[in-house]
Amino acid sequence: MMDVAVPADVWQDVEPGTEALVEAWLVKEGDRVKAGQVLAKVVIIKANVELTAPAAGVVDRILVAAEETFKAGQPLVRLRPTG
Amino acid sequence: MIAGAGVRAKTGAAVEQDWNERQLAQQVRAAVWQVWTYLEPSIVLGCSQRTMLPAAGAHRGREVLLRRSGGGAVLAGPWMLGLSVALPVGHGLWSPDVIASYRWLGELLAAVLREGGVLASALPPPQARAMAPTDGLQWACFGGLSPWEVVAGGRKIAGLAQVRSRNGVLLSAGVLLSAPDWALLCTVLGRPPAQIASLASVTTSWAEQNGDTAMAAALPQHLDAGLRAALRAGEISGG
């Protein structure tokens, strides 16, 4: 299993504890995804940011639902790598 | 290489949003930008504000749009200048860090405003965090302050937002030339009338700060020239 979070360098200057928002999921549990595919759109400090799949796999579980908030480092989705 | 620059005068916010969408619909290969002035008022909601879209008939004849970037509602209109800048991934002004990405644009806006006699500055992250948000105004872009947004006399004069994708980054900004019709914004979005005065108290404008009247009409061209120079320099520094 592979937990996917927003990359740390996106958060570099963001104040610790700042919450971001999952705007929308573009995939659902059970979907097969390719490496680099956009999984979700999140909003961090007025920036709309794409969350992409680091590897090909199947979406095992969405950990933070749309319109819910999350913090730096928090996994948003669990992928089951394929291939 | 930079391309696609200019000033689009007296247009509508829908044209601007359409231009923004098109820039990231495909890979951005060169920095492109546009300075906007607006003929009529339009309300542009942040991407997370879908639930604030007024019910049909409640628009009071005003255009209400949803943009792709985050942040609060913006009231575009003749009182505001808009800017859009699309950068390729890896451009000298591109950064993986969302906050660092705003820095050069906030500093450029502040520098151009200072040329016109407005004592503006872009807020570094610690200063922006130290300025406590006004309760209940977070729904409005100009009701809050984020890092590298621009203030004059401690009040917000320019706001920033961005969209990041695999194809590039799109930065956008709004600069207040004169006092916006905050009553219109609050009325259309069903906000308490007391927030009209609150928004006026936390914001300021080129006119209110006694910006050079002779330069005011040419401000879009000044910003256009500033963007061209900054993007060219960024291109060089970015290799």
pLDDT at B17 over 70: yes
pLDDT at B33 over 70: yes
Residue A42 located in a structural domain: yes
Whole-number pLDDT of residue B8: 82
Whole-number pLDDT of residue B1: 59
Task: Give the domain range for residue A71.
Answer: 2-6+17-81
Average pLDDT over residues B59-88: 93
For an interface test with A, the pick among B24, B98, B148, B164 (most A C-beta atoms closer than 10 Å) comes out as: B98
Rounded-to-integer distance, Cα B239 and Cα B223, Å: 24
Average pLDDT over residues A55-82: 97
Q: Are the beta carbons of B97 and A11 separated by less than 8 Å?
A: yes
Question: A53 near A37, Cβ under 8 Å?
Answer: yes
Q: How far is CA B19 from CA A12, B8, B13, B24, B73, in A?
A: 29, 11, 10, 9, 19
Residue A59 located in a structural domain: yes
| For chain B, percent of residues with pLDDT exceeding 90 | 79
Instruction: Report the CATH number that the domain containing residue A67 is assigned in CATH.
Output: 2.40.50.100
pLDDT at B239 over 50: no
Q: Are the beta carbons of A15 and B125 separated by less than 8 Å?
A: yes
Taking only the tens place, the pLDDT of each residue in A40-51 is 999 999 999 999
Whole-number pLDDT of residue B103: 97
Average pLDDT over residues A17-45: 96
A7-16, B49-58, B134-143: least confident range: B49-58
| Residue ranges of domains in chain B, CATH in brackets | 7-237 (3.30.930.10)
Candidates B109, B77, B111; CA nearest to B179 is B77
Taking only the tens place, the pLDDT of each residue in B130-153 is 887 778 999 999 999 999 999 999
Number of domains in chain A: 1
Burial class, B75, CB count within 10 angstroms (exposed 0-12 / middle 13-18 / buried 19+)? buried
pLDDT at B99 over 70: yes
Band of pLDDT at residue B61, cut at 50, 70 and 90? confident
Report ipTM (2 d.p.). Answer: 0.89
Residue A30 located in a structural domain: yes
Taking only the tens place, the pLDDT of each residue in B152-166 is 999 999 999 999 999
Helix axes B219-237, B98-115, angle to 10 degrees: 140
Average pLDDT over residues B106-133: 93
Average pLDDT over residues B40-50: 93
> Would you put residue B79 in left (φ > 0), alpha (ψ -120 to 50) or beta?
alpha
Helix (H) or strand (E) holding B175: strand B168-176
Whole-number pLDDT of residue A54: 96
Amino acid in the structure at residue B10: K
Which residues, listed in sequence order, are joined to residue B172 by a DSSP beta bridge? Answer: B84, B161
**CA angle in degrees (0–180, nearest 5) for B49-B140-B125:** 105
Mean pLDDT for chain B? 91
Rounded-to-integer distance, Cα A11 and Cα A70, Å: 12
Q: Are the beta carbons of B46 and A46 separated by less than 8 Å?
A: yes
For an interface test with B, the pick among A12, A45, A50 (most B C-beta atoms closer than 10 Å) comes out as: A45
Which residues, listed in sequence order, are joined to residue B163 by a DSSP beta bridge? Answer: A48, B170
- What is the token pair recorded at B221? 């061209």
- What is the token pair recorded at B235? 């291109």
Average pLDDT over residues A43-62: 96
Residue A36 located in a structural domain: yes
Residues of A in contact with B165 (CB under 8 A): 38, 50
Residue A11 located in a structural domain: no
Rounded-to-integer distance, Cα B74 and Cα B141, Å: 6
CA A61 to chain centre: 11
